[in-house]
A and B are shown apart, each in its own frame.
Chain A
């Protein structure tokens, strides 16, 4: 920019607010701020008037009242006598569960498909293209409904497991039952359990932490620590003497033995699902609603991620592949050691926005009856109490908070892997 000579000093005139570039931006900003504040004030005053007209007032007391509905898929204990706040909290956890699971599987599938689309096997490349185009060009709501319907129609009902010569049987040593009501997997049980610790008392965000789990994690962490000390010691010896002492049997023993002893002491065993009455009892039950939503969101988002990955790989110049090839690396190793690490820089920013999209799309859980935060706070609670304003605003704030947390977290990561340019 050219340096400007100072204009002659003159007395301030009102018209300078518009015509003088030094003041104009200030004027615009002040006007913008006022307009914005007016808008907000206008909306608030309308809201107050309207609510008064409807005879309602903004209050959050209803959160303390019993929710009176049941939630089947949940991480923490909950009954229909718990409060609306508790129900919303359970819903929030459900949102987070499906979002996290979805992001992980979407990434795995997306990277796999993105690489496979560049496969030299014509058929595989075509199939992957068909998959990507199919999923990208049909609304996710339809995919969620489809996934649910396919699970329900194609899997056997628990009734098929009944009787002496049942048409279906449990898989994996009679421990996993795949039915059209969900998947039953064994759960970890402790016959000499240390009990639970309840955090946050009787409040709505209370949850029980299993002491068994804490002890196991503590022992495992200690084992890993000792394991690394042994390795460091071995390296030191190797550096000093040139001979590396044989330590692998120590290392494995340190890693495995304390945990096994602890598990035995706690009386660890697996609780297998068994057919009792109408349903399987025992084990952990992953409902179809969760699985369908998880599959649909993963596959849908994976189609987008695949395109990003493919674009990222293609953005790496061919010379890199050829150079790696000339070093004698095999194609798989070239991909994992040379291409993908470089492509990652191109891939990560759009990947973040796809994670965000997946999280936001999880709000469609209501289509399959998975009670996430939209289904509880923005669904049944809203319907029952008729508090639209409070419920929906709170719902938006929660989603906003989740989204911003994801963006912030991923941006920090992105900064760390980004190439430092000169």
Chain B
């Protein structure tokens, strides 16, 4: 007999945790009712959510979809619920949603902005999801700046081809003069100027009344204009930019502004970091001036002053003028984002490039920019979100973006008096687009973080 009266020969199985700390109840206790203060807050929050949702859901769901005018809506509401209060009239969205998306773009050509949008995703994919997408898509990225204006504005295929050729030529010349980066810069600048001249051409050709460029520009304008739809392959019906409107216009202004501001922003950021005093002063002055004034004043400049600053008689389309000003606006912000990226690089990278004997532009192209741009992408995306949201301001200068259109729609006697439904729809569309982009930006930040650790 041993002394011990009891020896456990086998371990007891683990006891279940108390029922109040597992499952739904446990989760509730831990997260919502951990102490009396939290419990009060939780109850208050629930009450607030209930209050908001009960009003909102009733309005959203108990609503009229099929109606051709506000009065019809009201009749249906009276017939169904006996009152017109607390019910949305989505008939206006049903009637006008295409207009809110595409503005006055000809309906039979809707495939073009849609295609441009899809191509945009294809062009961005290799940049945004570099590890998941075949790098061959980069060809789409390279072609996109030439394809997109052609798709949107139409015309002959030779125009984008000409611009691309001009780009390549300018690039080659620039490379001969100063190296790859100046070449790229010159190419991009020439492409942008080219597009602008071409888009402004119908008016331009009347304007260049005399001077050296007359023959060239007018001749060019006529030769472009004289390409008849039958003679040219891949002729797309031209659409004037004042037909653009709705969300298409917002996206277009945003994309053009960000696309064009990227090279400009890189130059400004480099200029600001440069130790050449005058170059630095000009860049700093430009950036601080643009960042110091509200976008709306720049839009006022676009709508009322830009024509005064340009040679007498020059007359760009208002949408083009707005794009120019928004691009300048975006470039200043972009420059700051890229400057942040440059500052994020360790000094060793610069010194390493120097020790390899690379010159300034080689170092920028091969060592600095690839790294700086990569860490700047989240900042670029949030700049884009900001610009995209700010495009609503163009409604103040009479462009028909979604907000501007909502005003025009209310001026139709059918829909005079509709208020919340249009705003709700516009807010929802902006939310979906911006929320998606900000999620992407967060995903990227997480990825960059893990890579750097």
Contact = CB atoms under 8 A, between A and B. Distances in A.
Q: Touch between A and B in complex, CB under 8 Å?
A: yes
B34 interface: yes
Interface in A47-76: 47, 49-51, 53
A259 to B, nearest CB: 37
A138 B41 contact: no
B294 A46 contact: no
Contacts of B31: 120-123
A378 B295 CA distance: 13
Interface in B287-316: 288-289, 291-297, 300-301, 304-305, 307-312
A364 B393 contact: yes
B438 A137 contact: yes
Given A121-B32, A133-B435, A400-B293, A46 B308 contact: yes
B197 interface: no
Interface in A21-55: 25, 28-30, 32-33, 36, 43, 46-47, 49-51, 53
A139 interface: yes
Interface in B237-295: 275-279, 282, 288-289, 291-295
B: interface residue count bin: 35 or more
Contacts of B38: 120-121
Contacts of A388: 300, 304-305, 308
B354 A1 contact: yes
A251 to B, nearest CB: 34
A142 B429 CA distance: 12
Interface stretch (A207-215, A221-229, A391-399): A391-399
Interface stretch (B5-13, B17-25, B125-133, B419-427): B419-427
Contact of A121 (B41, B291, B385, B390): B41
Interface SS majority for chain A: helix
A149 interface: yes
B49 interface: yes
Nearest to B278: A29
B431 A138 contact: yes
B308 A356 contact: no
Contacts of B431: 134, 137-138
A403 B291 contact: yes
B430 A392 contact: no
A145 B309 CA distance: 33
Contact of A123 (B42, B297, B300, B395): B42
A199 interface: no
Contacts of B112: none
Contact of A360 (B279, B282, B294, B310): B294
Contacts of B188: none
B312 A50 contact: yes
Interface in B403-453: 403, 419-420, 423, 426-427, 430-431, 434-435, 438
A410 to B, nearest CB: 14
Given A29-B277, A50-B307, A121-B31, A392 B297 contact: yes
A28 B276 contact: yes
Given A137-B435, A139-B390, A32 B282 contact: yes
A103 to B, nearest CB: 15
B327 interface: no
A223 B21 CA distance: 58
A29 B42 contact: no
B321 interface: no
Nearest to A393: B305
Contacts of B389: 137-140
Nearest to B308: A50
Contacts of A53: 312
A51 B42 CA distance: 65
Contacts of B419: 149
Interface string B318-360: 0000000000000000000000000000000000001000000
B24 to A, nearest CB: 13
Given A142-B430, A360-B294, A124 B45 contact: yes
A141 to B, nearest CB: 5
A138 B309 contact: no
Interface in A96-111: none
B435 A363 contact: no
B115 interface: no
B392 interface: yes
**Would you list the 8 A-B pairs with minimal beta carbon distance, nearest first?**
A122-B31, A137-B434, A403-B292, A360-B294, A363-B294, A139-B389, A400-B292, A388-B304
Interface of A: 1, 25, 28-30, 32-33, 36, 43, 46-47, 49-51, 53, 120-124, 127, 133-134, 136-142, 145-146, 149, 356, 360-361, 363-364, 366-367, 374, 378, 388-389, 392, 395-396, 399-400, 403-404
15 contacts: A25-B275, A29-B278, A32-B278, A36-B282, A46-B311, A122-B32, A123-B31, A136-B434, A137-B435, A141-B395, A145-B423, A363-B296, A378-B300, A396-B301, A400-B292
Given A360-B295, A378-B300, 19 more contacts: A29-B276, A30-B278, A33-B282, A46-B308, A46-B309, A47-B309, A49-B312, A50-B312, A51-B308, A127-B48, A139-B430, A141-B392, A142-B403, A363-B294, A363-B297, A388-B308, A392-B304, A396-B293, A399-B293
